[in-house]
Amino acid sequence: METALVLGGLAAGPLLASYAVEALRSPPSPPGTLAWAPDIPLRYLDLDGTRVRYIVAGEGPPIVLLHTLRTQLDLFQRVLHPLARHHRVYALDYPGHGWSDIPAGPYSPELFVTAAGRFLDRLGIRRATVVGESIGGSIALLLAARPDLVVQAIRGNVDTRLRKLAGGDCDAIVLAAAGLDRLGFGDRISERLDPKSFVPAIGQGILALETRAGDEDERAHARGLGERQPQGYEAAERVADEGGPPEIKHIDEPAEEALGEGR
């Protein structure tokens, strides 16, 4: 026991010292320029006491880019310059991300929706195309549809989420209609969201059968159970999500994704 305590003390010493060094170290200075775009000046905006970093590039109809969690505006470095040839492009770091301030308090979905909405208001951005990655896409849809909504994260399976709704934890929840229909909860759906205004996730409503790697017999049986049409939808959605083949990048006319029935 004594040996264990001594070893623990020896191990804890450097660890505590490292914490002390980190606490005394000055915060890193934000970079003065973007390494991938030194021609685009960095800007900062105060949103109710939280200083957020953002950039603006190009001229034309406005586009606002919203990154996902645990990333920053640099996520869009490969698309910003091409977009800026025809648009005025805005991108920001959410509070607690990138080089924006790190406010105290819970980092709930409401924080990011509110920050994005206030960013648009403060800069007077109206009738913009708001594009987001992952949660950034959800923020864009919520800002467009209902700016007054308060967004909360809900975990658990479908039964658990429906119980939370019935218990008054929230006023409404957004779930995959395909899953609710398959589980026999279709009568609980109060509104089916139009895919043209609320785009479903990649592969939504498609069931997949997993087989053991290298087991060709199982794979052959699984192929017999599959349907070619859903497979085509899923493949097309993934190609679009990953940037698509070179031909897609040259489409200049308005386009929309084709979705299957019930999707």
Same-domain status, 181 and 237? no
- Cβ contact 101:52 at 8 Å: yes
Q: How many domains, the chain? A: 3
Using alpha carbons only, what angle is made at residue 61 by residues 45 and 253, rounded to the nearest 5 degrees? 140
Q: Which of 145, 167, 189 is the last residue of a domain?
A: 145
Q: Does residue 35 sit within a domain? A: no
pLDDT for the residue 17 = 55
**C-alpha 218: how far from its chain's center?**
36
- Going by DSSP bridges, is the β-strand pair 88-92/50-57 parallel, antiparallel, or unpaired? antiparallel
Same-domain status, 124 and 168? no
Confidence of residue 21 (pLDDT cuts 50, 70, 90): low
Same-domain status, 141 and 47? yes
Number of DSSP helices (H) and strands (E) in the chain, helices first? 8, 5
Q: Does residue 257 sit within a domain? A: no
Strand partners, 66: 132
Same-domain status, 48 and 129? yes
* Res 13 pLDDT > 60: no
Same-domain status, 190 and 214? no
Q: Does residue 164 sit within a domain? A: yes
Same-domain status, 208 and 128? no
Q: Does residue 24 sit within a domain? A: no
| Closest CA relative to residue 33, chosen from 44, 45, 41 | 41
pLDDT for the residue 4 = 29
Residue 84's CB is within 10 A of a number of other CB atoms, namely 19
CA atoms within 13 Å, Cβ hemisphere of 183? 14
The predicted model scores a pTM of: 0.54
- Cβ contact 52:95 at 8 Å: yes
Helix-strand-coil split of the chain, %, nearest 5 = 40, 10, 50
Same-domain status, 183 and 209? no
Highest mean pLDDT among 23-32, 83-92, 230-239: 83-92
pLDDT for the residue 253 = 40
What are 203-228's pLDDT values in tens digits? 777 777 788 888 888 888 887 777 77
Q: 96: domain CATH number?
A: 3.40.50.1820
What are 153-200's pLDDT values in tens digits? 677 889 999 998 899 888 888 888 888 888 999 999 998 888 777 777
- Going by DSSP bridges, is the β-strand pair 50-57/43-47 parallel, antiparallel, or unpaired? antiparallel
Q: Does residue 262 sit within a domain? A: no
- Cβ contact 178:263 at 8 Å: yes
pLDDT for the residue 18 = 53
* Res 7 pLDDT > 60: no
Query: Which DSSP helix (H) or strand (E) runs through 228?
Result: helix 228-241
CA distance 107 to 121: 21
pLDDT for the residue 101 = 94
Same-domain status, 59 and 114? yes
What are 59-94's pLDDT values in tens digits? 999 999 999 999 999 999 999 999 999 999 999 999
What are 94-147's pLDDT values in tens digits? 999 999 999 988 888 888 988 998 999 899 888 889 999 988 988 888 887 766
Same-domain status, 49 and 134? yes
Confidence of residue 35 (pLDDT cuts 50, 70, 90): very high
Same-domain status, 136 and 171? no
CA distance 85 to 257: 24
Domain hosting residue 223, numbered range: 203-243
3-state SS assignment for residue 89: strand
- Cβ contact 93:120 at 8 Å: no
* Res 48 pLDDT > 60: yes
Q: Does residue 112 sit within a domain? A: yes
pLDDT for the residue 240 = 64
Q: Does residue 263 sit within a domain? A: no
What is the rounded radius of gyration, in angstroms, for the C-alpha atoms of the chain? 24
Same-domain status, 86 and 170? no
Q: Which of 167, 183, 200 is the last residue of a domain?
A: 200
Q: Which of 126, 145, 164 is the last residue of a domain?
A: 145
Q: Does residue 18 sit within a domain? A: no
Same-domain status, 100 and 120? yes
